[in-house]
Amino acid sequence: MSEENIFDIAIIGSGMSGSYLAYQLSRKNKKWKILILESKKASSPKVCGEYLCPAGHFLLKETVPEIDLSSFLPLRGMKVFFHAKKILEGSFFHYQSLGGLSVKRGVIENQLVSLACKANEKNLLMENTKLTDFVKEENSYLLITENGNFKSRRLVAADGRVSFVGSKMNHKKIENKKKKIALHAHLKFKKEMFVNEDRFGEIHLLEEGIYIGLNPVSNKKVNFSVTIPVKKYLAYENNEKKLVMDFIEKTSLENRFDFTNFNFHFSKTYPISSINKKAVLGDVAFVGDAGGGIIDPLTGEGMFNALTMSFFLAKEISAEVIKDDVLWKKSIDSYNKKQLRFFFWKKKFDLFLQFGIKTSILPFIILKLISLTEKGSDFFISYIGNIKKIKYLKKII
Ligand SMILES: Cc1cc2nc3c(=O)[nH]c(=O)nc-3n(C[C@H](O)[C@H](O)[C@H](O)COP(=O)(O)OP(=O)(O)OC[C@H]3O[C@@H](n4cnc5c(N)ncnc54)[C@H](O)[C@@H]3O)c2cc1C
């Protein structure tokens, strides 16, 4: 194999976790040769609410000095609705000067990968290049793709919720009955509903764990997604228009959106949770959704989790670590422990919320109690926005 195709680290996937890891590593040591394999065109659109929580906003701003986030509109906070009734509204600014952002994630991923490739001209992004197999050899991984083969000393999987790398390494599968599906589109506001200042994200809770997320990505358009159990989706027998309109009616959102020229194309994604729950399998490190980064998009923190996991992993890697098998294993195990500790309570809280929204009335009562004071509402929304994590991140950046 020619020298050109041999790398120090290969990252599979150029989503938020892969692109940020490539950037962090390229900044740490310009001599490392990094390969990024991406099965699609890098930065192609994905089903995602594209709400970046305040902690994710903070992490990008503080750790990527070159990043340009100026085209994205700020989000002041969140509103929570139960069916058509608003039960809580909270602002991030009570606890932190930085709000959330309505982003175009592809723009961010593109900037990160470009910066990584600029740092060392030997770094390589292979777009439209799917990893189809990999074999562990004595001192490296042989990576097999439709566009030729590569070798890399170390392998990191950033290949998303279904993770091909994880499935090859026999990760545990989640049960079918727990799976959910998400439908997604950009909807246009009716003219009188345009959003100017005071921009809020919205979560609309419905029955049986169904919810709608809204993120006003511009003053005229909202990023809309509805998340439902697969069983419920199948009951609509592919009539997505009816499904979406049924849920929109239950939330009274039809009064706010313009459906006159809407051609009703919704993108779908399934499953919506990480299949692999482990951030380390053997000597392979997993970041973002590939390593259990997302249990459900309800609280809109998948991108933050992806960024944080890559941040932790990059911190553990040094030139000695890349060369030495024992040190590499020690470092990725340490990464695993740190990320488990960091996300421990938040994941428990998210699971509790998941349980709550399935029981319908429980979240209503809890949220109603919290919303009795403005401070309570702000605290709840800030917790969801991971603002408490910023304090810890400030210490370790
Ligand atoms: C409906 C929905 C709404 C969401 N809303 C939000 C939100 O508002 N805010 C938020 O923060 N998070 C949200 N999330 C979660 C967020 O999208 C993810 O957590 C985030 O994208 C994780 O980034 P990642 O880099 O780990 O994975 P991904 O972004 O999935 O990137 C993985 C990449 O790997 C590539 N890949 C896969 N297999 C291969 C292969 N074999 N070879 C090469 N490349 C491969 C893929 O093409 C992809 O580009 C939402 C998720 C869903 C499902």
DSSP H or E segment with residue 34: strand 34-37
Residue 389 domain-assigned?
Answer: no
| Residues 181, 204 within the same domain | yes
Residues 252 and 108 in one domain: no
**Sheet hosting strand 77-82, strand order edge to edge:** 85-91, 77-82, 200-205, 211-215, 221-229, 180-188, 267-269
Give the CATH number of the domain where residue 201 resides: 3.30.9.100
Q: Is residue 93 part of a domain?
A: no
Of the candidates 158, 162, 252, 180, the one whose C-alpha atom is nearest the C-alpha of residue 214 is: 252
Instruction: Establish if 91 belongs to a structural domain.
Output: no
pLDDT, one tens digit per residue, over 45-73 is: 889 999 999 999 999 999 999 999 999 99
Which ligand 1 atom is nearest residue 289's CA? 26
Could you tell me the distance, in angstroms and rounded to a whole number, from the CA of residue 377 to the centre of ligand 1? 29
Q: Is residue 259 part of a domain?
A: yes
Residue 303 lies in a domain: yes
Contacts for 55 with CB less than 8 Å, ≥ 6 apart: 301, 304, 385, 386, 387, 389, 390, 393
Alpha-carbon distance 203 to 274, whole Å? 21
Tell me the Ramachandran region of residue 307: left when phi exceeds 0, alpha when psi lies from -120 to 50, beta otherwise: alpha
Residues 242, 342, single domain; the answer is no
Q: Do both 222 and 246 map to the same domain?
A: yes
Q: Give me the chain's average pLDDT, please.
A: 92
Kindly state whether residue 388 falls inside one of the protein's structural domains: no
Q: What CATH number is attached to the domain comprising 169?
A: 3.50.50.60
pLDDT for residue 307: 98
| pLDDT at residue number 317 | 97
Q: Let me know if 339 is exposed, middle or buried by CB neighbors in 10 A (0-12, 13-18, 19+).
A: buried
**C-alpha angle 342/348/354, rounded to 5°?**
135
What is the number of the ligand 1 atom nearest to the C-alpha of 16? Answer: 25
| The pLDDT of residue 174 | 57
Amino acid at the residue 148:
G
Q: Is residue 21 located within the same domain as residue 156?
A: yes
Residue 97's pLDDT is what? 84
Do 111 and 219 lie in one domain? The reply is no
User: What local confidence, expressed as pLDDT, does residue 177 receive?
Assistant: 56
What is the 382 CA–ligand 1 centroid distance (Å)? 23
Full residue range of the structural domain in which residue 161 is found? 3-50+104-173+274-357
What is the C-alpha to C-alpha distance for residues 244 and 260, in angstroms, rounded to an integer? 15
User: Ligand 1, from 47, 48, 165, 171: best to mutate by most atoms within 8 Å of Cβ?
Assistant: 48
- Number of separate domains in the chain: 2
pLDDT for 44: 86
- Are 219 and 195 within 8 A, CB to CB? yes
317 is a domain residue: yes
Q: Which residues line ligand 1 at a C-beta cut-off of 6 Å?
A: 12-18, 37-40, 46-52, 130-131, 158-160, 164, 182, 184, 215, 225, 227, 269, 272, 288-290, 293-294, 297, 300-304, 306
Residue 40 lies inside a defined structural domain of this protein: yes
Q: Which amino acid is at 207?
A: E
Q: Are residues 8 and 120 both part of a single domain? A: yes
Ligand 1 atom closest to Cα of 18? 25
Q: How many angstroms does the Cα of residue 289 sit away from the middle of ligand 1? A: 6
pLDDT value at residue 47? 92
What pTM did the predictor assign? 0.96
Distance of CA 386 to the CA centre of its chain: 14
Atom number, ligand 1, closest to the C-alpha of residue 290: 26
Low-confidence ranges of the chain (pLDDT < 50): none
Q: Say which residue the tokens 């239950």 belong to.
A: 250
Each residue of 128-144: pLDDT tens digit? 999 999 999 999 999 99
Q: Does one domain contain both 194 and 262?
A: yes
pLDDT value, residue 95 = 85
CA dihedral 309, 315, 321, 327 (to 10 degrees): -70
Atom of ligand 1 nearest to the CA of 184: 1
